[in-house]
Structure 1
């Protein structure tokens, strides 16, 4: 069973995907070789559904998101796979038609709102610019649309804030402006790339509530990228865990977080402080992620895994995702043999 086939079937059970990547491979040419940034990733999002992509920095989350919207930085490129919008592979379209199709249906909320916004342009004008350019609205209609969107994302006194510059707003307010810009063309899917990273916990929760409320009200598909499983668990019904450019575990949020079936997912969960168990020792993941110019054989997590054995790297190809429960898949070849336990047992296992 291929990774793409397994995850695709999971998506189909959740509803017909609006946007779907199938067996995507993204490479970045470097002087010392090709960096395999995304290696056979497949997932989809249906209308009204919230999907999370989680993993450490460098796991391929953000570049997967950019590949979905055609925003890969030069010289990165999709070298194989399919990108389906309503079942049509837009990678087969001309660049102009592909860009139009994707930008009509999909919008993105970036991580750093201060960088994403034009510092010398009033925030209201930045929201109104897209309806004017893309939807052909008049200046007054676009202004009214921008004020309406500012109100919908929870910005108080939107008519006055319309004239503010980005530096005059708090980080949470700037991120709400970015959400309003993303909504300004009535997209069907929102891609959110770590939208709460620079915010404190209280503001994080508020921004996530805004995103989730709008998802429900507008029946939007949402793909939320984060390194924080706790953030994703608040919003997403399905989670894909990425490591070294691949999905290593996928499933419904409750099942995956309650009973992870891959050592990497377990390690991510145990590295987050639990307020209900303050005396419990946190788990750290030893070593570093692999160099994806020279892709290691077998499971890329094996050198850092407490449960790794020779079988994990015996096959030069990475392990496929296989069913480990209801709508739950894992790319661990030993998932039936190991029992993910506490930190003390992990130390004994490694010894």
Structure 2
């Protein structure tokens, strides 16, 4: 997503009369790795970054950005505190927070699947995981299991879920752990026990890994589905992203989460253009209140707490006969303006 935005802008003249260069550092999917990466970049004079793709990384780097004179736009962390009690003036979240994402999904699923009266939730054993449970359940959760993201065997958690009286399951762990949980759970009939299974954003990576074994009752968060409405015809930037993803990846079949990183890149590029500067104070000022178009629709970043607000999406995930063998269908759109809490930087959010 970042490379697609870079290529498009560079082909159209770059930024401030120069070509955009991307400098990459690996955060090693850990808090310590994220801190090391942002410190290394700052030491090399890179003061504007896209990073903190997960909540633990966001919580780790946000407090040190001011001392580094750096600004970070984050594409995916949901933990509430990073725009509340742990607010940093140098950190911007171009993503849904936990209330918007999990509260929105919880309300949607409770309405759409009215016959499912109770839900089990499995979430990371972390601050963000507790946010998942707090905002999803809305009083309808029958059982909760917390799981480490750094393990290969989910037998204990699966056993807990299978022994619950719940009719529906929401999986709040993402990426490889989510896929592992579903693969292991299928062996004991977890996909058949629950009338519906929801997940928090692993999306097409599940269907790609599981193929025809993908649960046929699986719904998940999606960031972008260019072949479906409203992405297909409502958002011009979606068509642009499709064009440049093909150039960058050599295939149109990529996980929708590329739109999240693309959105973060667009936020930075538009802010630098607006500020006519790459200096940290100028970029911060330009990001505050910024409004721009994305592949998922209009987007804005609140000045007060640096929370991004647009739309979030949910879709049915599954295998199919047409290439590439998996896909999304029946996209549901949620307006985050109707879900988001009032800005309160520096103060803990309470239900």
TM-score, normalisation: structure 1: 0.31
Instruction: From the CA coordinates, give the structure whose radius of gyration is larger.
Output: 1
